[in-house]
């Protein structure tokens, strides 16, 4: 990478920084070849212009998903893009067809669930966000379409996530090509489960990773012609054997050792194992446990995985027995013997571990001891046995341990391959390579040398592939290109593998000479490669050498190269283990005839590894490669930490920067014509204004600029390195000039505005001064006039004040005297009034206290009595509740309550009537007595008047002197008596009036009481109705339960060999209990007048249950033939369903034990819907099935339901509900006489409850299944029809080139019409289906369910596409989708709630997401506003995804603030800790969203009487009942 020269003052650039690798800043000064840069951290840095790289200021804040889209493809641009995406938890990024995966160091389950696999299945590369599934999808589709094998190479340093990435690749490939294998285990399951087995025995904790693979693995997945997995093979490379015996702190040995030490106690006792700290091979490090890992659980999981891959229990025990033997072998220690250079076991502890090792390996302990401390040398003359010193014996022990473990690992791999099985007929494979990355430590030995050699070979393959892909891109675009030079590592590979003269060849040569040492080997290397540029000798070292690899220089220590390269087994060890009595141990060391016959053959690890690597490269060369580069963002293994220096080093080691260099050697910048014109169109506006082709316009623009060396392909502009910066410089100049012009005009406008404001201010100031002087003159004149007025007013005021003072004194004296008199009077009256009030209050208090005492006593008495009654009733209820346990007893209790309430109602009615009659009679008596009293008073008055008249006449006629006194005395007495009598009559009249008034009051109180009783009566009536309904619901539930029981009983009888005899016996011995034949109780039958009929009925039904006569068979054939045609509808009711129902009801098919008419009807329906795409037929049968199911639901009743009801239930049903039907509203389902009288005979025949047998109940279940199937077919057909349109609706069309100059209005209008066309197509599909449903009279309930699920499907598809495709999360795209959703809303309005229902509410996710995209000022929105007001339905994961992927392609605004993003990330972390699902995608619900009960409740009652039979059966006499029923209903 060479820095560009198009750097000017003000340019934003990247400059090297020792701590951050690269840091951005702004150029403040240029001095020749040096630039002064003001960095973002406030420092000023001086650097050469060649080491400064331009920064793209218009790059999206969330980075780009493909780094080939970067305007500047250089090292800092790549690093910054990865850092920005990692900050947003976007761990995957493309570089062309290379996937870079940054380890998040946290679980992201939503990225790898099944739903995500479904999204990437069939998706094109680059269509969705970068993902490891996309690479696997490309490899799989390329294999299927081209028939060529593919390979996926996963590389990276330890801890970068290679193993996890490989697991995800194999999971996805197993998802695509899964198929059942042998013994119920699938091949893909065995491949996936081989991972934990190999990890347990081949992975270990290192400094950089807790689960580092210490071997290379290449998994071959073999596929058949149909693309299904037919076999697999696992190839492993270079297991790190030295780790078995030697580890450093804080690393760990292989996992299997720790897992076995954490096994269940019985397992440990069997292998005589204890704490891992007590074993030499494990306690060299202080790390024994891993955070968050339970070794016991991992041990059990490993055993389960072994079961899956086909390792038997015996083999598993043998495997772990060998592992335990290695641990015990490591604890065998040696001490000096009596002889020189001899050794013996150190102590009893060593003896114990030696014996235990021999026991576990099933070999002789003495032979094992001799094999460790003795060597046998065979010479022509004699056989010499020599002993080893303690150090040599320890080396022999470690060599045996490494050999045993290596052979065990190889056996495991072979066993897995044999268990999985390979397909010899497979022609295509997909290989997944998980191999160690480039390693460079403080101490690098033979393992690092082999690992880096492998990476050199892979890097050569990678460079060739990248170069090839670059050339293919140029060829595809048909541009002129010359040979591109790129850095090749061929010289390094020759230095290592050249034969003869390479490092490996020299190492093998040194190993074959017994006297060779590491020093002689190092000196040989120094002499051989002293002129090589790639090989250097470090200073102050005699055994180290350095090789300059593609990723950097690595210093190797040659001290152990010779020992680690030797690949032979000590003869004593071989003989010992071959002689083992355990076939498993002996099988690890097979005796080869070649080895036994020839002792001179030499084998080395390096040569064998070289051959393996050569075979691997041949395999990779024969396949189409795909690359995944795994990157470890930090060394502390924690999330949200991105170390630039660490990452840039890995990018260099992984060859990513090498690929960038190759790209930069050609045309690193590639832009489509549209993107190029959109960015650089300002350099030549006249080109955009013309009506030119995009390619012609680009050529004219580049020619005008004078750029040389570019190329124009079919769809893209190819620019050389540095040309993009030059174009950006010129664009910045044009935009800068335009900005200066705008500034000039604005400054002119501001100056003119300031001048006008200054002149206006001067005029206003002059006007204010003149006005001020005039005001002062006017104020002086006004003050003089005011002084005269003040003097006049003051004199008048003094005179008036004197007069008023005198007058006020006089009035005050008069007022005081009058007030004294008034106060005396007031005080007297006040005292009198107070005395009166006190007397009144005292009397009132005494009366009120007396009343309150009486009232309190009455209330206490009433409360005590009521509480006593309530407690008594509560005890009764509790006792009843404890005794009540079954549903039938609850029904009895409810019926008792209903009967009691009815009786109480009737009693209250009678009491009310009697009370009213008694009151009326009493009132009549009172009226009569009052009338009689009135007559008596009138007669008495008349007698008094007559007496007075007679007395007056007598006085007038009598002599005045003689008779004056007697007459006066007599008349006076008479008058007095009459007067007293009159007074008595008046008193009696007054008492009678008082009694009448009391009667009136009593009558009004009685009327109020009557109204209260009437209200209570209404409440009791309502409560009785509710209880009645509850009883009916309980009866229905009981009936349904009995139906299910009956079906299960019939199925059991059908399976049982004695079912026929049992059913026959039950017909002859048991009598079904029905309302016509009475009830059974304790085995006794209550006989009714219809008993004989009920007993004869089973006998008469035996023949129709077994056989159908020929006439019935003909009628059934005719019915099936009739319903196979489209019979249409009559009055909105499907004719076929009504004819089927009436025919079955007339033939009594529901009540027979055996019949085939139901099967024939079901077969007719099945044959009619065989074509799944014929929506007309599906809608027709949807309507018929729903109607027929509704009729069956309201008619059929399970056999035996009546027999389960208690005796009193029948009596109360016939009597209580019969009586209630007269006074209260009767239930239409009650089986009483009132129902018969009210409905009529014909109505009863059609809607009567039928005791259904097993075939009828089975027919109902089959019909329900067909209804659900037809519903699902119609729904899925509509989904298939709109799915392609939804893919077009989510992506907004691009604006034309004219919008870049002439504005966006017209272009947007055209684009809007193009987008709305797709939405209108969806509307047309919805309308077509809606009209089809209406034409076929489909139930609105089912139509609502269909469209509700369709809108839910639209919501899921659009929302998931929005979250998976970053180009869809833009402002303009949100506007387009919002306009399309408005079309759907309009459709819902037109369809009305009857058919649309809550369909619009199903779009809530996409509506809120689109609403979030199109709102302005997103950075000002708080998280609370977003979650509560804007998007309450969306989860925090979904909001985070939208917020981080959003980009404004219209106004250039930003997404939400960084604080909101941080808060979202915290909440997501809390959700992951609380085990809350973190998936941001929605799932499509394809279940059936209704039940038979829902249909029964939602559909109206169907009257089948007025249906005219079809022409085909109208003339047939066997269907005369259809015509009779119609005529009867018409008459």
- In contact, 336 and 373? CB cutoff 8 Å: no
Identified catalytic residue from 209, 1187, 1360, 1435: 209
Q: Both tokens of residue 1345?
A: 């369910």
DSSP letter at 531 equals: T
Q: Is 158 a catalytic residue?
A: yes
d(CA 1356, CA 44): 52
- In contact, 1492 and 1189? CB cutoff 8 Å: yes
Please state, in angstroms and as integers, the Cα–Cα distance from residue 365 to each residue in 387, 391, 438, 590, 637, following that order. Answer: 17, 21, 43, 21, 46
SS3 of 535, please? strand
Q: What are phi and psi of 213, to 5 degrees?
A: -75, 120
- Within 10 angstroms of residue 1354's Cβ, the number of other Cβ atoms is 25
Q: How many H-runs (helices) and E-runs (strands) does the chain carry?
A: 50, 30
Q: Is 209 a catalytic residue?
A: yes
Q: Is 163 a catalytic residue?
A: yes
Q: Is 177 a catalytic residue?
A: no
Please state, in angstroms and as integers, the Cα–Cα distance from residue 1012 to each residue in 738, 863, 865, 998, 1335, following that order. Answer: 91, 21, 22, 21, 55
What b/e string do you get for 218-234 counting C-beta neighbours within 10 Å, with b at 16 or more?
bbbbbbbeeeebbbbbb
- In contact, 588 and 577? CB cutoff 8 Å: yes
The rounded radius of gyration (Å) of the Cα atoms in the chain is 53
Residue appearing with tokens 């139906």: 1043
- In contact, 899 and 1039? CB cutoff 8 Å: no
Q: Both tokens of residue 164?
A: 């996890």
Can you say how many angstroms the Cα of residue 293 is from the centroid of all Cα atoms in its chain? Answer: 28
* Helix 1110-1123, helix 1157-1168: angle, nearest 10: 20
d(CA 524, CA 290): 44
Identified catalytic residue from 203, 213, 644, 1213: 213
Identified catalytic residue from 129, 155, 158, 194: 158
d(CA 17, CA 15): 7
* Three-class DSSP labels, 770-790: HHHHHHHHHHHHHHHHHHHHH
Can you say how many angstroms the Cα of residue 569 is from the centroid of all Cα atoms in its chain? Answer: 57
Identified catalytic residue from 212, 565, 669, 1444: 212
Q: Is 213 a catalytic residue?
A: yes
DSSP 888-950: HHHHHHHHHHHHHHHHHHHHHHHHHHHHHHHHHHHHHHHHHHHHHHHHHHHHHHHHHHHHHHH
Please state, in angstroms and as integers, the Cα–Cα distance from residue 813 to each residue in 808, 816, 822, 824, following that order. Answer: 9, 5, 14, 17
H-helix or E-strand spanning residue 361: helix 348-361
**Residue 737: CA atoms inside 13 Å, Cβ hemisphere, count?**
7
Q: Is 16 a catalytic residue?
A: no
C-alpha triplet 1245, 895, 1238: angle, nearest 5°: 30
Q: How far apart are the first and last CA of the chain?
A: 101
Q: Is 11 a catalytic residue?
A: no
Tell me: cis bond preceding 807? Omega within 30 of 0 counts.
no
Q: Is 195 a catalytic residue?
A: no
Identified catalytic residue from 437, 713, 1232, 1380: 437
Identified catalytic residue from 439, 447, 470, 1402: 439
Beta bridge partners of 548: 553
Identified catalytic residue from 71, 89, 163, 1348: 163
- Within 10 angstroms of residue 1196's Cβ, the number of other Cβ atoms is 21
Alpha helices in 374-500 (DSSP H): 390-420, 446-477, 490-497
Using alpha carbons, select from 1406, 1373, 1377 the residue that is nearest to residue 1295.
Answer: 1373
Residue appearing with tokens 């008046």: 986
- In contact, 555 and 549? CB cutoff 8 Å: no
DSSP 144-179: HHH---EEEEEE-STTSSHHHHHHHHHHHHHHHH--
Identified catalytic residue from 77, 159, 1232, 1374: 159
d(CA 93, CA 87): 13
Q: Which residues are catalytic?
A: 158-159, 163, 209, 212-213, 437, 439
């Amino acid at each position: 990478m060479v820095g560009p020269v198009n750097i000017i003052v003000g340019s934003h650039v990247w400059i090297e920084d020792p701590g951050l690798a690269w840091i951005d800043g702004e150029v403040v000064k240029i001095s020749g070849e040096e630039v002064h840069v003001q960095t973002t951290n406030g420092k000023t840095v001086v650097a050469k212009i060649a080491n400064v790289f331009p920064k793209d200021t218009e790059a999206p804040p969330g980075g780009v998903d493909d780094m080939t889209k970067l305007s500047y493809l250089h090292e800092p641009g790549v690093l910054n893009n990865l850092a920005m995406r990692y900050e947003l938890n976007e761990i995957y990024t493309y570089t062309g067809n290379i996937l870079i995966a940054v380890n998040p160091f946290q679980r992201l389950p939503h990225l790898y669930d099944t739903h995500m696999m479904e999204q990437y299945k069939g998706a094109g590369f680059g269509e969705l966000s970068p993902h490891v599934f996309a690479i696997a999808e490309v490899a799989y589709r390329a294999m299927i379409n081209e028939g060529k094998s593919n390979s996926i190479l996963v590389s990276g340093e330890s801890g970068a996530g290679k193993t996890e990435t490989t697991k995800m690749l194999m999971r996805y490939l197993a998802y695509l090509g899964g198929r059942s294998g042998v013994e119920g285990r699938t091949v893909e399951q065995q491949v996936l489960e081989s991972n934990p087995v190999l990890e347990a025995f081949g992975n270990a904790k290192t400094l950089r990773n807790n689960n580092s693979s210490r071997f290379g693995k290449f998994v071959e997945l073999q596929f058949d012609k149909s693309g299904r997995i037919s076999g697999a093979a696992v190839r492993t490379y270079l297991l790190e054997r030295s780790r078995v015996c030697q580890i450093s702190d804080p690393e760990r040995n292989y996992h299997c050792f720790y897992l076995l030490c954490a096994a269940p106690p019985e397992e440990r006792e069997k292998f005589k194992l204890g704490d891992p700290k007590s074993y030499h091979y494990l306690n060299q490090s202080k790390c024994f446990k891993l955070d968050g890992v339970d070794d016991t659980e991992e041990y059990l999981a490993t055993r389960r995985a072994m079961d899956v891959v086909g390792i038997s229990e015996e083999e598993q025990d043998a495997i772990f027995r060998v592992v335990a033997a290695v641990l015990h072998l490591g604890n065998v220690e040696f001490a000096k013997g009596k002889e020189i250079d001899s050794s013996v076991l150190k102590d009893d502890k060593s003896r114990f571990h030696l014996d235990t090792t021999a026991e576990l390996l099933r070999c002789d302990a003495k032979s094992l001891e001799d094999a460790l401390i003795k060597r046998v040398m065979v010479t022509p003359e004699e056989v010499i046995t020599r002993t080893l010193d303690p150090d040599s014996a320890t080396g022999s022990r470690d060599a045996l341990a490494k050999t045993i473990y290596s052979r065990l690992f190889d056996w495991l791999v072979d066993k897995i391959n044999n268990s999985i099985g390979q397909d010899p007929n497979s022609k295509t494979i997909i290989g997944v390579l998980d191999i160690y990355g480039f390693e460079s430590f403080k101490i690098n030995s033979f393992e690092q040398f082999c690992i880096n050699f492998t990476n050199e070979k892979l890097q050569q393959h990678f460079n060739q592939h990248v170069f090839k892909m670059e050339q293919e891109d140029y060829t595809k675009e048909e541009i002129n290109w010359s040979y591109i030079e790129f850095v090749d590592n061929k010289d390094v590979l020759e230095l290592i593998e050249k034969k003869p003269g390479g490092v490996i060849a020299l190492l093998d040569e040194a190993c074959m000479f017994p006297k060779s040492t590491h020093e002689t080997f190092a000196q040989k290397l120094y002499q051989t490669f002293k002129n090589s540029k790639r090989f250097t000798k470090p200073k102050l070292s005699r055994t180290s050498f350095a090789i300059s690899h593609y990723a950097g220089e690595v210093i190797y220590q040659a001290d152990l190269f010779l020992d680690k390269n030797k690949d032979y087994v000590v003869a004593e060890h071989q003989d010992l283990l071959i002689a083992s009595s355990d076939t498993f141990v002996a099988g690890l060391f097979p005796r080869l005839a070649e080895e036994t016959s020839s002792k001179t053959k030499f084998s080395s690890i390096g040569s064998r590894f070289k051959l393996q690597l050569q075979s691997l490269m041949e395999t990779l060369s024969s396949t189409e490669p795909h690359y995944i580069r795994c990157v470890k963002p930090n060394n502390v293994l924690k999330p949200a930490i991105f170390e630039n220096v660490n990452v840039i080093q890995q990018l260099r080691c992984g060859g990513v920067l090498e690929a960038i260099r190759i790209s930069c050697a050609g045309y690193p910048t590639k832009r489509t014509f549209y993107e190029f014109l959109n960015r650089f169109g300002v350099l030549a506006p006249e080109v955009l204004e013309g009506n030119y082709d995009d390619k012609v316009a680009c050529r004219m623009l580049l020619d005008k600029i004078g750029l040389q060396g570019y190329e124009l392909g079919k769809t893209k502009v190819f620019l050389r390195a540095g040309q993009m910066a030059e174009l950006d410089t010129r664009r910045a100049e044009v935009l800068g000039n335009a900005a200066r012009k705008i500034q000039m005009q604005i400054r002119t406008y501001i100056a003119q505005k300031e001048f006008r404001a200054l002149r206006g201010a001067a005029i206003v100031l002059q006007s204010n001064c003149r006005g001020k002087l005039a005001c002062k003159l006017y104020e002086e004149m006004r003050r003089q006039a005011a002084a005269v007025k003040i003097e006049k007013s003051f004199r008048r005021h003094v005179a008036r004040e004197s007069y008023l003072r005198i007058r006020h004194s006089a009035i005050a004296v008069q007022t005081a005297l009058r007030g004294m008199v008034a106060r005396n009077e007031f005080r007297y009256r006040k005292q009198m009034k107070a005395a009166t009030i006190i007397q009144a209050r005292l009397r009132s208090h005494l009366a009120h206290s007396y009343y309150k005492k009486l009232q309190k006593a009455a209330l206490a008495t009433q409360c005590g009595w009521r509480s006593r009654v309530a407690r008594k009733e509560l005890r009764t209820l509790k006792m009843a509740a404890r005794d009540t346990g079954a549903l039938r007893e609850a029904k009895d209790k409810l019926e008792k309550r209903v009967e009691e309430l009815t009786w109480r109602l009737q009693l209250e009615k009678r009491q009310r009537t009697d009370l009213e009659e008694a009151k009326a009679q009493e009132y009549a008596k009172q009226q009569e007595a009052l009338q009689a009293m009135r007559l008596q008073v009138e007669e008495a008055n008349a007698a008094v008047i007559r007496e007075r008249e007679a007395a007056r006449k007598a006085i007038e006629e009598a002599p005045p002197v003689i008779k004056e006194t007697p007459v006066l005395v007599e008349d006076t007495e008479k008058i007095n008596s009459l007067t007293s009598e009159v007074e008595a009559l008046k008193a009696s009249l007054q008492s009678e009036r008082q009694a009448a008034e009391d009667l009136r009051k009593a009558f009004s109180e009685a009327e109020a009481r009557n109204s209260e009783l009437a209200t209570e009566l209404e409440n009791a009536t309502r409560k009785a109705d509710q209880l009645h309904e509850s009883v009916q619901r309980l009866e229905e539930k009981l009936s349904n339960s009995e139906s299910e029981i009956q079906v299960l009983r019939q199925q059991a009888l059908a399976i049982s060999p004695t079912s026929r005899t049992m059913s026959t016996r039950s017909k002859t011995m048991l009598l079904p209990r029905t309302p016509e034949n009475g009830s059974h109780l304790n085995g006794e039958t209550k006989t009714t007048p219809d008993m004989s009929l009920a007993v004869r009925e089973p006998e008469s039904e035996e023949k129709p249950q077994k056989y159908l006569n020929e006439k019935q068979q003909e009628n059934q054939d005719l019915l099936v033939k009739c319903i196979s045609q489209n019979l249409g509808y009559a009055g909105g009711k499907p004719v076929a369903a009504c004819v089927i129902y009436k025919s079955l009801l007339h033939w009594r098919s529901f009540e027979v034990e055996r019949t085939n008419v139901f099967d024939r009807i079901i077969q007719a329906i099945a044959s009619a819907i065989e074509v799944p795409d014929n929506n007309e037929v599906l809608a027709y049968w949807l309507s018929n099935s729903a109607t027929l199911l509704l009729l069956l639901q309201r008619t059929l009743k399970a056999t035996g339901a009546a027999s389960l009801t208690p005796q009193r239930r029948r009596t109360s049903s016939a009597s209580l509900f019969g009586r209630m039907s007269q006074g209260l509203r009767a239930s239409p389902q009650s089986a009483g006489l009132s129902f018969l009288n009210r409905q009529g005979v014909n109505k009863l025949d059609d809607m009567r409850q039928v005791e259904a047998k097993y075939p009828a109940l089975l027919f109902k279940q089959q019909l329900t299944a067909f209804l659900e199937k037809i519903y699902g077919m119609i729904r899925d057909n509509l989904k298939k029809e709109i799915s392609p349109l939804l893919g077009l609706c989510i992506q907004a069309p691009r604006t034309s080139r004219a919008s870049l100059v002439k504005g966006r209005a017209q272009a947007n209008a055209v684009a809007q019409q193009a987008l709305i066309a797709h939405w209108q197509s969806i509307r047309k599909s919805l309308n077509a289906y809606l009209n089809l449903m209406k034409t076929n009279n489909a139930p609105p309930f089912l139509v609502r369910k269909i469209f509700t699920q369709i809108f839910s499907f639209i919501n899921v598809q659009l929302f998931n596409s929005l979250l998976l495709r970053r180009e869809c999360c833009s402002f303009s795209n949100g506007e387009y989708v919002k306009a399309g959703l408005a079309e759907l809303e309009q459709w819902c309005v037109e369809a009305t709630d009857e058919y649309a229902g809550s369909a619009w509410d199903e779009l809530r996710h996409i509506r809120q997401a689109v609403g979030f995209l199109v709102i302005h000022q997103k950075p000002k929105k708080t998280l609370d506003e977003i979650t509560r007001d804007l998007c309450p339905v969306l989860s925090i994961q979904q909001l985070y995804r939208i917020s981080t992927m959003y980009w404004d392609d219209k106004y250039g605004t930003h997404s939400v603030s960084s604080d909101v993003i941080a808060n979202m990330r915290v909440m997501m972390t809390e959700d992951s800790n609380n085990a809350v699902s973190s998936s941001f995608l929605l799932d499509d619900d394809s279940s059936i969203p209704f039940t038979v009960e829902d249909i029964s409740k939602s559909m109206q009652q169907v009257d089948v009487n007025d249906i005219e039979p079809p022409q085909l059966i109208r003339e047939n006499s066997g269907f005369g009942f259809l015509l009779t029923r119609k005529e009867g209903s018409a008459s």
